Structure 1
Amino acid sequence: MGVFTYESEVITSIPPAKMFKAFFLDGDKFIPKVVPQAIKSVEIIEGSGGPGTIKKVTFGEGSQLNYVKHKVEALDEENFVYSYSVIEGDALMNRLEKITYDVKLEASPDGGSICKSTSKYYTLGDIEINEEEIKAGKEKASGLFKAAEAYLLANPDAY
């Protein structure tokens, strides 16, 4: 098994507490509402939302993927940290055991936030990962974050 690590940052004008609440704490309802074409639904299969919770994410009609299952690994509301693993579904492409994501929101000097993300791809056997596929996935995730930002800017009383 190989492990491939990728880091990224997304900057938003939304303060960390507001973005964390919308995107991570209420994300199961918020994200399908903001981008229904990308994420059709999120349902809790097991647990209550905290660490150990299993969620099924069903993708929208135009997506290349059907679904994934996430396992919440860590949820730290005070420090704006959310960690989860993709443990089942199309995103694993029969080449990955799992993908882990560690996300932290930090305050930026302008009152917004910086979303720092580290993802680790655990391959089955000695399979190599195509960086272009990883980059495409990162761009989609960044697009979700920017859609959330646009919604929150257009609806300042939300969250």
Structure 2
Amino acid sequence: MDVAYGEVEISSSVSGPKLFKVYDNFEIIAPKIIPETYKSFTFIRGDGDVGTIKSVTYGDGTSTKHTIDAIDRSNLIFSWTFFEGDALKGIINTATHHLKFIPSPNGGCVFKQTFVIRYKGDAKLIDNIINGIKEAIKNTFKKMESYAIDHPKV
């Protein structure tokens, strides 16, 4: 089984706690501001804390299920793992994501998201999947950052 790693890092003028709060409400905000990417989220088990399982339906009609692995509100960290769904293209066993907002001296932060993809059986690494995930992370971040700027009371 092949394993692939990826990382996206983006500087932002928005504070880490504010962006963390926006991402903490991702399943509510993302379908409103990025409906072409995120159509809906359904809670299968749990209420959003660690151990929660959610189903995501994407704009193209594909879906995945993921579990919330960690939420550390004091250190501005989220972790989750996709483990099932047709959006995994039949070749990905799991895709684990770690997201962190690192405060910067100017009052903003550095958004850092890493991911580890574990492929099924003899499936091989596919660069366009890694690049597609990175682009999706960047595009989603920019939309979420804009939402945070446009909604100062969030």
Q: Does the pair score TM above 0.5? A: yes
Alignment of 1:6-45 (within 5 A): 6-23=6-23, 25-45=24-44
Please give the TM-score of this superposition, normalised by the length of structure 1: 0.90
Point out where structure 2 has 5 or more consecutive residues left out of the alignment.
none
Task: Identify the residue that residue 104 of structure 1 maps to in structure 2.
Answer: 100
Contact 2:92 2:118 in 1 (8 A): yes
Q: Moved runs in structure 1, 4+ residues, more than 4 A? A: none
Residue identity (%): 34
Please give the TM-score of this superposition, normalised by the length of structure 2: 0.93
Quote the Cα distance in structure 2 between the aligned partners of 1:117 and 1:152: 18
Give the CA RMSD over aligned residues: 1.3
Could you list the per-position Cα deviations for residues 95-147 of structure 1 after superposition, in whole angstroms to 9, with x for gaps in the alignment? 11110001111012321111111111101123211112211121012101101
Task: Identify the residue that residue 2 of structure 2 maps to in structure 1.
Answer: 2
**When the two structures are aligned, how many residues end up with a matched partner?**
154
Contact 1:13 1:149 in 2 (8 A): no
Quote the Cα distance in structure 1 between the aligned partners of 2:92 and 2:68: 18
Task: Identify the residue that residue 50 of structure 2 maps to in structure 1.
Answer: 51
Structure 1 residue aligned with 2:128, among 129, 132, 141?
Answer: 132
Quote the Cα distance in structure 2 between the aligned partners of 1:72 and 1:9: 21
Quote the Cα distance in structure 1 between the aligned partners of 2:37 and 2:6: 22
Structure 1 residue identity aligned to 2:14? I
Task: Identify the residue that residue 117 of structure 1 maps to in structure 2.
Answer: 113
| Pairing 1:153–2:149 present | yes
Point out where structure 1 has 5 or more consecutive residues left out of the alignment.
none
Three-state SS of the structure 2 residue aligned to 1:109 is: coil
Contact 1:12 1:146 in 2 (8 A): no
